[in-house]
Copies of this chain bind each other. A is one copy, B any other.
Amino acid sequence: MAMNSPHLPPPVRELVGRTRQFVREVVIEAEPAPGERLDPATRARLQAAAKEAGVFAPQVPKEYGGQGVPLEHWSPVLQEAGYSPIGPSALNCMAPDEGNMHMLHLIATEEQKRRYLHPLAAGEIRSCFGMTEPHPGAGSDPAALRTTATRSGGGWVVNGHKRFISGAVGAGFCIVMARTEAARGAPEGATMFLVEMTNPGIRVGEAIHTVDRYIDGGHPHLHLEDCFVPEEAVLGEVGLGFRHAQVRLGPARLTHCMRWLGLARRSLDIALDRAERRELFGAPLKSLGLAQNLLAESVIDIETSDAIITKTASLLTEDPKAGSALSSVAKVHCSEAVFRVVDRALQLCGGDGVSDGLPLAQYLNEVRPFRIYDGSNETHKWAIARRASARRKAAVDSGEPYRGEAAVCKGGA
């Protein structure tokens, strides 16, 4: 399904077209069989081709070798990338690297940028983000963070156990979130550290085998045992780790939506193709109302997802705090919508849909975790409700009339 993106600046529109062409002509050819992973050699070859085609790292500023598209217009580009499940890796706009690049760009020192952002943006290394911990540590509730960092010998010693650290196997460095005490004017809280994976104090642990296949580097455990890092490893300010991470979370949540929405479009195309040529009871599937119902609902899911992403991206630019709040809405809506779109496409393809003759069954496994990753949808809904309540309470406290009281009927029965 083609995208309608009103008001796109011509250079972005052109990049969208170029990306579309590259993904469809080059990337899709190189896709592994359903259930298989992208191998590093193919990844490298595709990234080189993407550089050649002028579509590499669309979201990265030009100074680091990217295409310099502003956040507000990432969506149509990343959707085209996501039309292939390996597109984002080929274009170096895949999680978790993409979020890490965005954060490094905004808060890293020049030296840190030189050391970590440059090679990451160039696709020379990969990275990971070390936040989640085994229960009862930091999961949906970051405040439960148990990993600690204490000052020692002109640097810091980090100890802790992380889990579900996407991309960790083969990564060049990890951004580790750790609890730090108040000291030297810094508040008590969390601090982020840039830890190179060659550091003897960090160790990739047990693998966690999940149903998704396209995040390079798995989702393993990570162990930090007396892991010493120098002062320059602190990313941003000491004690402000959670606040800094907000800079990453809103956009990172949204780019997930963009990429998966691309895969939803692919799924719908498969279903539309199928409905065009397959017949049932003597009529093409596409003419049967029960199939049309599934197709129409998928179009609605895709268009509303596209629209809420666009709105959130605009708001993130204009008012990052409001945009970050709205990204919860986008995340819940898009992750549910994308899942439904793939599920309906699979349904329309019948027995082939659940076989590996078509990629849809793997796509379904690929998008299912998105309703859990990046904060489960239930956690986001809880936050959405609380924010709505707080906002409305503030309005009423400022003079808006309270509207919840039922008028009493004065007359008799």
* Interface residues of A, Cβ cutoff 8 Å to B: 1-2, 4, 6-7, 24, 132, 135-136, 139-141, 163-164, 168-169, 204-212, 218-220, 266, 268-281, 286, 288-297, 299-300, 303-304, 306-308, 310-311, 314-315, 317-319, 322, 326, 329, 332-333, 346-347, 349-358, 361, 364-365, 368-369, 371-373, 376-382, 384-386, 388-389, 391-393, 395-396, 400-404, 406-413
**How far, in whole Å, are A277 and B248 apart by their CA atoms in the complex?**
31
A168 B413 Cβ-Cβ under 8 A = yes
Beyond A353-B372, A365-B361, is A141–B211 a contact (Cβ under 8 Å)? Answer: no
Interface of A is mostly: helix
State the Cβ distance, A377 to closest chain B Cβ, in Å. Answer: 8
Quick one: which of A2, A289, A364 has the most chain B CB within 10 A? Answer: A289
Q: How far is the CA of A369 from the CA of B140 in the complex (A)?
A: 31
B208 and A409 contacting across the interface, CB-CB below 8 Å: yes
Q: Which of B273, B376, B411 contacts A403 (CB 8 A)?
A: B273
Residues A299 and B7 in contact, CB atoms below 8 Å apart: no
Instruction: Assess whether B6 is in contact with A406, with CB atoms less than 8 Å apart.
Output: no
Task: Please name the 8 residue pairs, one residue from A and one from B, whose CB atoms are nearest each other, closest first.
Answer: A289-B289, A357-B406, A273-B404, A292-B385, A296-B381, A274-B404, A307-B307, A6-B314
Q: A280-B140, A371-B347, A406-B355 are in contact. Are A382 and B290 (CB under 8 A)?
A: yes
**Inside 8 A of A352's CB, which chain B residues have their CB?**
406
